[in-house]
Chain A
Amino acid sequence: MRSDQNVLPDDILSLSNAASSGKRPHFFDNPDVDRLLAIVLAMAGELAVTRERLDTVERLLETRRVLERELIENYRPDATAARERGAWQLEYIARLLRILQQEAEQMQRGATEPAAEDVSRELASK
């Protein structure tokens, strides 16, 4: 792989992502929703890219007689593999939904915890 295709220099990356001139419209009452949706759609795009790449790998493996794709469709994990995969799924989901866990923890502890900003003011004079 040539370096110009492997490593995108920072200036080319930011040029690729450049905004067009002309004020960007927002459609939701809160522009944060547009912002979040743009990120979600970009993620969906990159997920599709990854899925297509995986599909390419599977097809090439089949062409080279390394693997039959039907084996993937009919794959049944043994007990160890199933446990490992289940554990991975749980860890993955916990990472994704970390914010909910943290919110629940804070609710549990009650509204008594000070904000760092308040503590900062306190420590500055005490």
Chain B
Amino acid sequence: MSVKEAAVACAPPWTDVGQHGLSAEARHDDAARFNFLANLNKHMSARVVGGNAIAYESRAREAYRRRTGHDPLDRREIRDAMQGDPYYQMWSSLRRSAMEMRQQAGRSLVLRQAEKLSERAQALSAVSPGTLRLDPSVEIPRYQSAVDNHCMPGSYFAEYIEGDVSAAANYDSGMFATTTGLFGRYLDGAGAGVARWLKALRPDWQPRRILDLGAGLGHNTVPLGRAYPEAEIFAVDVAAPMLRYGHARALSLGASNIVFQQANAERLFFENQSFDFIYSTMFLHETSYSALRNILREADRLLAPGGLHIHLEQPPYHGMSEFEKFLRDWDCYNNNEPFWTTVHDTHMPTLLKELGFQGDRVFETEIHALVETAMPKVAEAVEDFGRGGMWYAFGSERAA
């Protein structure tokens, strides 16, 4: 290289994002905004976040001890100790602003072409209208409506025009920057990782019916559709804009065996034991205490003999230092992820056993994103608290 080697690898350019039939038309400055944000995220996770530990060790803990007479005992007391620290305040304020700027960048890109995107979605979906099943009677649950998820104005479900897909287009456009390419060009690294894992576990197995819970725009459903072209796949979500967009996107990418079904994963109308494989990717942390249990009970009911289910999440807090838990909690309080902290405190294998799943082999594992050769790999990058291409996974396998 003629220029001096950068100590932190830069994010892949936003123009590398995978194109499909519903990609928003981006102009120069739209891409440049995402390039700035992606590299800002890189810098923050590689160079800035570490200063919080230094601030804690060098002054915030001591200040807390002087104030209270003892060291912080758990992550809540560490948070109390850190909230007055100028470094933590600066990091938090910048991070929150970066989240908001990411939303602004995506929305200013997609809202100006919202009508065109909606028309294109309808045209693409017209090829297979029967596989987009919207149900206006589905209510948005409290855990989705109380605050806009991860500071996404209007969340997944706001509709500004008839047949709106802009919420999904915004989500799709910005995720490549937020994840700095770690989820792959089509943001499908988790789904592709699940398909690879399943093929390795059961090399000759052919699931007949597959269910993706909280599938959103189906970016992690399409890889399963490709891996199992003979299977009938259901992508379930409460948000109509995500499903409209996902349906059109999947068809444009040649995945025609996916039904996009508007439904609440807590109460599904499918018959008992009607799915061989059930999975979710980064969905459960956007639910609630009772919803998590309802969703897993539904998985138990729907799972066929010989089938299995798996759920990908950010790593559980068990075994982590209290300081790391405190840092990971940031998103819960400051990035509108209100169930984040509870879900990561939950011991999933115990919960599965409590809920049923009798006789199943309960397991925990780690799923790595499967991404294109040119995209960065998680091992080479610093994990940005849940935005890395590597997930904790749990589930169970049922006897035939």
Distance of A44 Cα from B101 Cα, bound (Å) = 11
Residues of B within 8 A of A22 (CB): 146-148, 151, 336
A27 touching B29, Cβ below 8 Å? no
From known contacts A16-B108, A27-B93, infer whether A42 and B336 are also in contact, taking CB-CB under 8 Å: no
> A-B pairs with CB below 8 Å: how many?
98
Which interface residue of A8, A25, A27, A41 has the most chain B CB atoms within 10 A?
A27
Residues of A within 8 A of B97 (CB): 37-38, 41-42
Closest to A26 in B: B93
From known contacts A42-B101, A56-B28, infer whether A20 and B36 are also in contact, taking CB-CB under 8 Å: no
Residue of B89, B90, B96, B107 touching A18 (CB-CB under 8 A): B107
Q: Which of A46-54, A77-85, A98-106 contacts B (4 or more CB under 8 A)?
A: A46-54
Decide yes or no whether A120 CB sits under 8 A from chain B.
no
B147 touching A27, Cβ below 8 Å? no
Interface size class of B (residues with CB under 8 A): 35 or more
Decide yes or no whether A63 CB sits under 8 A from chain B.
no
B93 touching A16, Cβ below 8 Å? no
A49 touching B32, Cβ below 8 Å? yes
Cβ contacts A7-28/B at 8 Å (1 or 0 each): 0100011011111111011111
Cβ contacts A24-39/B at 8 Å (1 or 0 each): 1111110001100110
Distance of A7 Cα from B151 Cα, bound (Å) = 26
Q: Which of B152-160, B247-255, B392-400 contacts A (4 or more CB under 8 A)?
A: B152-160
Decide yes or no whether A112 CB sits under 8 A from chain B.
no
Cβ contacts B136-174/A at 8 Å (1 or 0 each): 000000000011100111110000100000000000000
Residues of A within 8 A of B94 (CB): 37, 41
A20 touching B89, Cβ below 8 Å? no
A37 touching B93, Cβ below 8 Å? yes
Closest to A39 in B: B97
Decide yes or no whether B103 CB sits under 8 A from chain A.
yes
From known contacts A20-B148, A49-B33, infer whether A41 and B107 are also in contact, taking CB-CB under 8 Å: no
A52 touching B111, Cβ below 8 Å? no
Residue of B111, B148, B334 touching A15 (CB-CB under 8 A): B111
Which interface residue of A19, A21, A48, A56 has the most chain B CB atoms within 10 A?
A21
Residues of A within 8 A of B84 (CB): 29
Residues of A within 8 A of B111 (CB): 12, 15-16
Decide yes or no whether B113 CB sits under 8 A from chain A.
yes
Total A residues in contact with B, Cβ cutoff 8 Å: 32
Residues of B within 8 A of A27 (CB): 83, 88-90, 92-93, 96
Decide yes or no whether A5 CB sits under 8 A from chain B.
yes
In the assembled complex, the CB of A23 is this many whole angstroms from the nearest CB of chain B, namely 8
Distance of A13 Cα from B112 Cα, bound (Å) = 9
Decide yes or no whether B303 CB sits under 8 A from chain A.
no
Distance of A29 Cα from B146 Cα, bound (Å) = 26
Interface SS of chain A:
helix
Decide yes or no whether A122 CB sits under 8 A from chain B.
no
Residues of A within 8 A of B83 (CB): 27
Decide yes or no whether B37 CB sits under 8 A from chain A.
yes
Residues of A within 8 A of B27 (CB): 5
In the assembled complex, the CB of B151 is this many whole angstroms from the nearest CB of chain A, namely 4
Distance of A28 Cα from B28 Cα, bound (Å) = 35
B336 touching A20, Cβ below 8 Å? yes
Decide yes or no whether B314 CB sits under 8 A from chain A.
no
Can you list 7 pairs linking A and B with CB atoms under 8 Å apart?
A15-B107, A15-B111, A22-B147, A22-B151, A27-B90, A37-B93, A41-B97
In the assembled complex, the CB of B222 is this many whole angstroms from the nearest CB of chain A, namely 28
Distance of A90 Cα from B88 Cα, bound (Å) = 36
Cβ contacts B23-47/A at 8 Å (1 or 0 each): 0000111001101110010000000
From known contacts A5-B112, A41-B97, infer whether A20 and B32 are also in contact, taking CB-CB under 8 Å: no
A49 touching B29, Cβ below 8 Å? yes
Residue of A4, A29, A38, A56 touching B100 (CB-CB under 8 A): A38
B108 touching A33, Cβ below 8 Å? no
Decide yes or no whether B98 CB sits under 8 A from chain A.
yes
Which interface residue of B89, B98, B112 has the most chain A CB atoms within 10 A?
B112
Known: A34-B96, A37-B93. 9 other contacts (CB 8 A): A12-B111, A16-B111, A22-B147, A25-B92, A27-B92, A41-B101, A52-B32, A53-B28, A53-B29
